[in-house]
Chains A and B, each alone.
Chain A
Amino acid sequence: MGQFQYRARTLDDRMVQDGLCAVAALEEFPETRDKVMVVGGIAT
């Protein structure tokens, strides 16, 4: 992963929240609206 570092994070982490906001951007487009659900560990 080159210069980047993976780190375990929780739902209140800024980087996770930005990721979820980015996922929410899919709802703005007809071809991707209502197509995606968050699953797995972060959803708990």
Chain B
Amino acid sequence: MPSSCRRATSDIDLAVVEPLSYSRFNRFASPIADWLQAHGYSARFEKAHATNRLVYGAEGETMVIEFPRKSERNFAKKAKNLEREFEHSRKKLVEERGATYRVVSPEDIAAPKLARCTTYLELDDSLCRYIEGVKPSPLSDAEVRCMLDEIEYLRARADLFPDDKLLATKTRFLSDIFDVRLLSESAGFNERYFERAIRSWDNIVKHPASARLLLNYLLPATRVDVLEGNSLVTHDTKSA
């Protein structure tokens, strides 16, 4: 995705294909901390609400690398999906640096965002106004810029009023629909795999009407559906 279309974020989120308690995380992430410290950063481990964090900084600025914290039991519930995501992940090069990192597929980036938006829409249907304004044809640079500006505006206000849950929800909702839309236009989705990915999220399958509403607005040309039997996508026995 071109830099001009990228939404800014303050952390690097990771998925890990093994359960990570806080003590295990300290050992697991130590090569990252070592690398950062060898390159002039401070680095420290933190236990956050539902995640383990590696906070690094230099010259008064800070960035966070966020790891999921999962017990063996919680990990077991997600293991199958994680295996599928890993199988479809790809390696990317850090531009001009030579290092490679693994990133989940565009379909697996979009699916949880769609799931979260489905939940938000179930809780507050006034959020519809944000998707009704999204036009079906590819977004122009000016329209992308306009959406990014609105997200930045909402984000700045959300920082000013951290107790305003509605504002936080709107900010997250708009950020997620922006990401899904841009990913579909810039990277493109394999429809068979996207369908498989979205059906792995319980809150999408449990709320098909809201999920379809989002799909219709965000991906108007798509043939995927939330539930089996309604899809126009061809699936063979060895699904994508």
Interfacial residues, chain A to chain B (CB-CB below 8 A): 1, 3-12, 15-29, 31-32, 34-44
Contacts and interface: CB of A to CB of B under 8 A. Distances in A.
A20 B93 CA distance: 9
20 contacts: A4-B61, A4-B62, A6-B10, A8-B8, A8-B152, A11-B3, A12-B6, A15-B63, A19-B65, A20-B101, A23-B12, A23-B101, A28-B31, A35-B18, A35-B28, A37-B103, A38-B14, A39-B103, A40-B9, A40-B109
A17 to B, nearest CB: 5
B102 to A, nearest CB: 5
Contact of A44 (B17, B99, B179): B179
B104 A39 contact: yes
Most chain B CB inside 10 Å of its own CB: which residue of A8, A11, A24, A28: A24
Contacts of A43: 13, 103-104, 109
A20 to B, nearest CB: 5
B198 to A, nearest CB: 15
* A contact patch SS: mixed
Contact of A42 (B11, B35, B86, B108): B11
Interface residues of B, number: 56
A20 B32 CA distance: 9
B7 interface: yes
Given A20-B94, A37-B15, 20 more contacts: A4-B61, A9-B63, A10-B3, A12-B95, A15-B61, A17-B94, A21-B94, A22-B35, A22-B65, A26-B28, A32-B28, A32-B31, A35-B17, A35-B28, A37-B85, A37-B104, A39-B109, A41-B179, A43-B103, A44-B182
A6 B34 CA distance: 21
B56 A19 contact: yes
A28 B38 CA distance: 16
